[in-house]
Amino acid sequence: MSSLKDKVAIVTGASRGIGRSIAERLAQEGAAVVVNYCKSADKAQEVVRGIEEKGGHALAIQADVSKVSDIRRLFQQIMGHYERIDIVVANAGMFNPKSVVDTTEEEFDAMVALNTKSVFFTLQEAGRHITDGGRIIYISTSATASSYPGSAVYKGTKAAGEHFITTLAHELGPRQVTVNTVSPGFTETDMLPKDEALRETGRQMSPLRRLGQPIDIAHVVAFLASEEGGWITGDNIQASGGIT
């Protein structure tokens, strides 16, 4: 794969889990990476240090991306520091497993704010600032293509982003910007419930009989971000170990 040297990437929610692995993988390919976080300042700094120790470039920026004003400040800070943005990964999200009948208005609003509203306005800022030929990648979930109890609000709030992506691909395509969704399956992060029975179900649902690791998702994102990924746009890549 050709290098991402001289490219600037932003990954939302990159202090932990899948976002962290994506940030590290893009840095490994040579991109300067903005590590966005909300609360975990120490962990974000640890990601930056790890990248720098390997000779890469990274910058941690706090922003609560469920707030539009924070998203706009985040992009202004990146433009102020690097004067360009080439790769945007809208990764931050949350999963609160609750049945329909048990979900409160506050829980519903919190999932909408982080899983839907933050994605829309991150994509809006991406569209406004991204370099021609850039790459926009949204991290959804394979759950939007399946069904299980306790996932209604999660699936509904994540699925909206997939529709934002297919439309944005048409709107930015004339500038040679590609816009895609990557949909992980069960992936071993803090978000995945500790419940061993659920984890075993996840392993058995994959033909590969294991849970996904954050790096499994990061490899796919790195390919889409590369020059070689340039003919894929408006698509939803299932990075789920074969779960459907």
Instruction: Please identify, among the stretches 91-99, 100-108, 123-131, 224-232, the one whose residues bind ligand NAP according to the rule CB under 6 A.
Output: 91-99
Q: Under the criterion CB under 6 A, does residue 17 sit at the interface with ligand NAP?
A: yes
Residue at 159: amino acid letter: A
Q: Under the criterion CB under 6 A, does residue 39 sit at the interface with ligand NAP?
A: yes
Q: Which of 66, 122, 151, 181 binds ligand NAP (CB under 6 A)?
A: 66
Instruction: Note if 154 is an active site residue.
Output: yes
Number of H helices, E strands in the chain: 8, 7
Nearest residue to 128 (alpha-carbon basis) of 138, 140, 120: 120
Nearest residue to 33 (alpha-carbon basis) of 41, 23, 42: 23
Choose between 31 and 89: whose C-beta lies nearer to ligand NAP: 89
Choose between 106 and 190: whose C-beta lies nearer to ligand NAP: 190
Q: Under the criterion CB under 6 A, does residue 19 sit at the interface with ligand NAP?
A: yes
What is the smallest separation between the CB atom of 109 and ligand NAP, expressed in angstroms? 13
Q: In this structure, are residues 41 and 62 in contact, taking their beta carbons and an 8 Å threshold?
A: yes
Instruction: Note if 66 is an active site residue.
Output: no
Nearest residue to 44 (alpha-carbon basis) of 25, 60, 29, 27: 60
What gap in Å lies between CA 221 and CA 53, rounded to an integer?
Answer: 22
Choose between 45 and 131: whose C-beta lies nearer to ligand NAP: 45
The set of catalytic residues is: 140, 154, 158
